[in-house]
């Protein structure tokens, strides 16, 4: 039986590429950025973004950002239900407002544009987002007055797709941290008032820590935010425009409790732009706060990963980093994170990310990367590293330095993912980097990264899928998939 809710009904959802636990491996979520490829799409979908389990169409876990909006609306007295995308028909007939969470709805994010340019097809995440809005039940509900409100980190992409917005009748797109404004917008939608098509949350409307509610339902893979914002100010990044705030440990532990008690998820992905800087007001890690947080989290959880951290913070305090690794590895052999290298060129670093190396000067960026990667290798933190290809002002000399750095990192357990430049942050008015602008050195860089990843990928699959029986069971599928990709690459001349 569908779950009943009273009052003016709001449903929240996201497409299947977001409503998945990625076989409990957050980093498999990267696979949603790829287009259909060397294996059938149904098999690829099952391997990289299986649909989340549901009870009567209610997902056992949902994306963290959607949970925050759900919590905020509940705290303001709205009747809200989060529903899995393939179960909307059970609930939508008397819904007044549908809220949709988006990350990369049109595949314009750096990873998906890169894949799409190389493979010349639309990425899965864009296909599934469109399929969600093509749902005939949503179309029907729209005719009787349903309002559709979209928000999340990928909301900026709608600015490039105004025809889509019109065609699918999207009423309002909210960009930015919405806790302080979401209630007002949903209330206006319920009252049938005209909504602003785009609502950009201003810096003044950014919520303070005390205004951000705790999630009330479990988040996908136990992801829990530990802070918002970043102090490094890279030119190409949206995050940098927001103020830096760290949550107190009590709040973080309360949200972990929600995941454990409501969702039986006893592991946790600590989320911040730089987990190493937890509790710090500048670019130097705060030993006491970081150790305390990890000791508390390890007591509660069976496993930890980090969403992001920075090279400079690790390199600035090697002893602290080893101490944190020791705490985390009491219960697991390794952990993972995403981390930005972006370039191997000190000159380019100085121009577009002058504080990325801080407290070291940008001139030392390649050494900072090298030191940090060595520390991660020794302490069993496995990074998925990103590089930006085609950033404005990039010269051949810059590309050569990046290629040299990748060569230097070949013995370090890691993945290195080159991403085409996407105009965001202070560079939002610059040109997109397209495959047609690729020069020989860009190709060389991409091939070096592919070779690096091919060298490490089988070892990483073995590590990732070693711990539990069901993981061992699905491991061969990934090995076969990688085998096919390697074979195809070899045929294309990449040895």
Residues that bind ligand SF4 (CB under 6 A): 230, 232-234, 237, 239-240, 273, 310, 340, 353, 356
| Nearest approach, Cβ of residue 444 and ligand SF4 (Å) | 25
| Residue 117 burial (CB count, 10 A) | 16
Strands (E), 190-274: 198-200, 223-225, 227-228, 245-246, 267-271
Q: Which of 410, 297, 308 is nearest to 356 (CA)?
A: 308
Minimum CB separation of residue 387 from ligand SF4 in Å reads 12
First to last CA, the chain: 55
Residues 349, 350, 353, 359: is their CA dihedral positive or negative? Answer: positive
Helix, strand, coil % over all residues of the chain, rounded to 5 = 50, 15, 35
Output the smallest distance, CB 87 to ligand SF4, in A: 35
Q: How many whole angstroms separate alpha carbon 393 and alpha carbon 483?
A: 37
* DSSP β-ladder status, 58-59 and 54-55: antiparallel
* Complex with ligand SF4: residue 67 or 356, whichever CB lies closer: 356
| CB of residue 396 to ligand SF4, shortest distance in Å | 24
Q: How far is the CB of 89 from ligand SF4 (least distance, A)?
A: 39
Closest distance to ligand SF4 from the beta carbon of 240 (Å): 4
**Strands annotated E in 240-308:** 245-246, 267-271, 303-306
Measured from the CB atom, is 297 or 339 closer to ligand SF4?
339
Minimum distance, C-beta of residue 6 to ligand SF4, in the bound complex (Å) = 41
Question: With respect to ligand SF4, which residue has the nearer C-beta, 236 or 465?
Answer: 236
d(CA 455, CA 452) in angstroms, rounded, equals: 5
Choose between 99 and 336: whose C-beta lies nearer to ligand SF4.
336
Residue 22 CB, shortest distance to ligand SF4, in Å, is 22
Q: How far apart are CA 23 and CA 40, in angstroms?
A: 18
Q: How far is the CB of 457 from ligand SF4 (least distance, A)?
A: 25
**Residue 85 buriedness (CB in 10 A; 0-12 / 13-18 / 19+):** buried
Nearer to ligand SF4, 386 or 464 (CB): 386
For residues 155 and 63, what is the distance between their CA atoms, to the nearest angstrom?
15
Integer Cα distance of 320 and 313 in angstroms: 10
What is the closest distance, in whole angstroms, from the C-beta atom of residue 112 to ligand SF4 in the complex? 18
Q: Minimum distance from CB of 110 to ligand SF4 (Å)?
A: 11
- Considering the complex, state which of residue 254 and residue 426 has its C-beta at the smaller distance from ligand SF4: 426
Residues pairing with 101 in the sheet: 151
87 or 232, CB closer to ligand SF4?
A: 232
Among 149, 117, 110, residue whose Cα is nearest residue 12: 149
| Minimum CB distance to ligand SF4 smaller for 69 or for 230 | 230
| DSSP symbols for 98-152 | EEEE-SSTTS-SHHHHHHHHHH-S--HHHHHHHHHHT-HHHHHHHHTT-EEEEES
Tell me which residue of 78, 70, 59, 73 sits closest to 15, measured CA to CA: 59
Rank residues 220 and 244 by Cβ distance to ligand SF4 and give the closer one: 244
Nearer to ligand SF4, 34 or 244 (CB): 244
Q: Cis peptide before 194, with omega less than 30 degrees from 0?
A: no
State the DSSP H helix or E strand holding residue 464, giving kind and residue range, or none if neither.
Answer: helix 440-464
CB within 8 Å of 105: residues ≥ 6 apart? 15, 125, 126, 129, 150, 154, 157, 158
CB-wise, 224 or 230, nearer to ligand SF4? 230
Angstrom distance (rounded) from CA 10 to CA 3: 13
């Amino acid at each position: 039986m569908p779950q009943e809710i009273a009052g003016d009904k709001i449903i929240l959802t996201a497409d299947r590429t977001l409503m998945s636990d990625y076989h409990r491996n957050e980093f498999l979520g990267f696979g949603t950025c790829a287009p259909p490829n060397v294996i059938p799409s149904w098999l690829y979908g099952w391997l990289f973004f299986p649909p989340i389990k549901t009870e009567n169409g209610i997902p056992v876990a949902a994306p963290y950002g959607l949970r925050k909006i759900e919590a905020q609306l509940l705290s303001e007295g709205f009747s809200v239900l989060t529903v899995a995308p393939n179960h909307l028909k059970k609930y939508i007939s008397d819904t007044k407002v549908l809220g949709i969470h988006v990350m990369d709805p049109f595949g314009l994010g750096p990873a998906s544009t890169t894949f799409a340019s190389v493979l010349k097809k639309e990425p899965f995440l864009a296909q599934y987002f469109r399929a969600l809005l093509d749902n005939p039940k949503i179309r029907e509900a729209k005719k009787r007055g349903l309002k559709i409100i979209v928000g999340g980190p990928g909301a900026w992409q709608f600015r490039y797709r105004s025809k889509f917005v019109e065609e699918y009748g999207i009423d309002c797109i909210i960009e930015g941290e919405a806790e302080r404004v979401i209630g007002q917008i949903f209330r206006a939608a319920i009252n049938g008032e005209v909504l602003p098509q785009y609502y950009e949350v201003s810096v003044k409307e950014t919520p303070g820590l005390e205004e951000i509610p705790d999630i009330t339902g479990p988040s996908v893979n136990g992801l829990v935010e530990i802070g918002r914002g970043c102090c490094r100010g890279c030119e190409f990044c949206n995050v940098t425009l927001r103020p830096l705030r760290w949550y107190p440990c009590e709040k973080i532990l309360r949200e972990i409790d929600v995941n454990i008690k409501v969702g039986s998820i006893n592991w946790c992905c600590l989320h911040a732009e730089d987990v190493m800087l937890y509790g710090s007001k500048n670019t130097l890690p705060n030993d006491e706060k970081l150790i305390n947080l990890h000791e508390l989290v390890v007591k509660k959880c069976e496993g930890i990963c980090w969403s992001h951290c920075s090279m400079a913070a690790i390199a600035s305090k090697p002893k602290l980093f080893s101490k944190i690794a020791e705490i985390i590895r009491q219960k697991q052999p390794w952990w993972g994170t995403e981390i930005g290298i972006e370039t191997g060129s000190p000159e380019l670093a100085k121009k577009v990310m002058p504080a990325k190396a801080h407290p070291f000067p940008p001139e030392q960026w390649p050494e900072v990367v090298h030191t940090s990667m060595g520390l991660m290798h020794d302490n069993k933190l496995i990074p998925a590293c990103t590089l930006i290809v085609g950033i404005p002002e990039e010269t051949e000399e810059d590309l050569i330095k990046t290629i040299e750095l990748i060569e230097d990192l070949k013995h370090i357990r890691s993945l290195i993912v080159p991403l085409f430049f996407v105009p965001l942050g202070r560079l939002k008015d610059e040109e997109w980097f397209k495959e047609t602008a690729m020069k020989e050195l860009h190709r060389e860089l991409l091939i070096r990264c592919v070779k690096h990843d091919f060298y490490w990928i089988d070892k990483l699959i073995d590590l990732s899928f070693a711990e539990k029986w069901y993981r061992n069971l699905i491991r061969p599928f990934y090995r076969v998939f990688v085998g096919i990709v390697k074979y195809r690459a070899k045929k294309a001349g990449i040895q």
